[in-house]
Structure 1
Amino acid sequence: MQANNRIETIRDGERKYHEACYDNYKLFEAGSWLHKPVKTVMETLKQFEEYGELTVLDLGCGVGRNSIPLAESIKSRSGVMVCVDLLESALSKLKSYSSEHGVSDYIETALSDIGNYEIAANQYDYIVAVSALEHVASEQQLVQVLGRMVHGTKANGINCIIMSTNIEEIEMDSGIQLEPLMELNMTTGKAEELLACAYKGWKVLYTTVKPLQFNIERNGSSVILKSDCWIMVLNLRCLAWISCEGKKDVRPE
């Protein structure tokens, strides 16, 4: 299968899966992964308790699982929560949920593939990418996205990345190993290498790798989905950051 056709096929399947989930499960109600925000995202938010203004970017926001609780923290001060997603249906529901939860004045949405989304330099205190970076089209595009995230972060800002690596799909009945339907399936070691390069000079606040396993359905068949859930929380504390290409980027305090 050609690369472009492969990406289109995978994204069509993802769209159907997510839209079915968004239609069948209400945000913050028990029964799905939409039940509550990601613990690491919310724990990291505590780093900004003393901020009177907070600017946040959520890449791959979906219907607001993390965006809405983050926007609620902005409501008590000032700032903006920018939410980016490829699915128009997800952003439509996000707007509805943000109104329902009283945070619509603090949320801005952007319909975009995160692989192509431009991030203004020194714009955000906090950038969140949960289960998003593995959905870019290529390793080269991942490097570009990481570079934009780095340059888009203010001095003393934080990036929170949660990414699936070492992804396997196994047909439950036959035990046959299937090709994982994920745009970017990297080994954990390779992902660590790329992020270490992109975030050279940053302070690692927290990192862990957790093995995950789920039962899912693929084309009417039961499939075991295995992966490493790799979490990294990084803090830009240095004034001078050196990129992988050796370019110096001086940040204001």
Structure 2
Amino acid sequence: MDRITNIRVEEKKYHDQCYESSKLFEPGSWLHKPVTTVINLINQYKDQEYISILDLGAGVGRNSIPIAESIKPRNGKVVCVDLLESAIEKLKSYSQEFGVEPYIVPILSDIEHFSIEPNEYDIIVAVSSLEHVSSAQVLEQKLCEMNAGTRTGGAICIIIASNILEMLVENKQELDPMFEVNLSTERMIDLLKQQFAGWEIEQLIVKSLAFEINRNGQPVKLTSDCITFVAKKS
């Protein structure tokens, strides 16, 4: 099995298990609540009559369900792209449960092969998903598409990991991190600034993260820098 296939098998296992064992918005997992940065950005557009939003790597709707709830009194759509069938099925179910089904457009696709139409979206959100495209070159190409796909006055919110390390807790043996793209923090920031040159950067924050995960029944310490990048196309 090649490296990319192996990573995707592992990610599928991890997410399928998480979506099965944790209910959306119930305390106890990262599905507990949406990302504050995303919701704050959406709220900046609350007076816009029609809004078109793209959520790349939407999962079961952690961000897209609250986004759809916020546009409910108005008109608009949240296009939700995810690679996992389990995520898309649960997204459809949750969108019915929370009464936002007319606003959610679920699309089963990996981010790489989903074509972002030029000038189509007011806001594009990608939370912990772009590091799972197949290469740094594809990431660059996707960021370029995101730029072209955002309308003037619109915005992007990218949350992405860099400097990723995985280590066995037991003996501190370093493992190959299960992330397709693993750039240094400096290079990732340079890439974001380069791809969105001329945009107004509203937020650029780097936060160090460390937590324990399970890989094939073994406890693994995962550390990374988490970059939050929010920019407006002026």
TM > 0.5: yes
Report the equivalent of 2:195.
198
Q: Which residue of 2 aligns with 1:176?
A: 173
Structure 1 residue runs without a partner (length 5+): 238-253
Say what the alpha-carbon RMSD is for the aligned residues: 0.8
Structure 2 residue aligned with 1:162: 159
Greater radius of gyration (CA): 1
| 2:46–2:71 CA contact under 8 A, matched in 1 | no
Higher deviation after alignment, 129-138 or 217-226:
217-226
Tell me, yes or no, if structure 1 residue 88 matches structure 2 residue 85.
yes
2:13 pairs with 1:16: yes
Structure 1 residue identity aligned to 2:201: V
Tell me the CA shift for residue 142 of structure 1. 0.3
Query: Aligned to 1:135, which of 126, 132, 135?
Result: 132
Cα deviation, residue 150, structure 1: 0.5
Shift, 1:179, TM fit: 1.4
Distance 2:218 2:88 in 1: 30
Alpha-carbon distance between aligned partners in 2 of 1:121 and 1:191, rounded to the nearest angstrom: 24
Tell me by how many angstroms 1:43 deviates. 1.1
Q: Secondary structure at the match of 2:113?
A: coil
Match of 2:102 in 1: 105
Alignment partners' CA distance in 1, 2:3 and 2:24: 30
The equivalences for 1:1-253 within 5 A come to 5-237=2-234
Deviations 1:166-203 (A, max 9, x none): 00011111011111111111111111111111101000
Deviation at 1:217, TM superposition (A): 1.1
**Contact 2:54-2:124 within 8 A present in 1 as well:** yes
Q: Percent identity?
A: 51
Aligned mates of 2:196, 2:7 — CA distance in 1: 29
Q: Which amino acid letter does the alignment assign opposite residue 205 of structure 1? A: E
Structure 2 residue identity aligned to 1:186: L
1:11 partner amino acid: R
String of CA shifts for 1:8-41, please: whole Å, max 9, x gaps.
Answer: 0000010011000000010000110000000110
Amino acid at match of 1:54: I
Runs of at least 5 residues in structure 2 that lack an aligned partner in the other structure: none
Q: Which amino acid aligns with 2:123?
A: Y
- Greater relative CO, 1 or 2 (CA 8 Å, sep 6+): 2
Which runs of 4 or more aligned residues in structure 1 lie more than 3 Å from their structure 2 counterparts after TM superposition?
A: none
Q: How many residues align?
A: 234
Instruction: Map Cα deviations across residues 188-239 of structure 1 (whole Å, 9 max, x no partner).
Output: 11111111111010000111000000111112211100000100000000xx
Give me the TM-score of the superposition, normalised by structure 2.
0.98
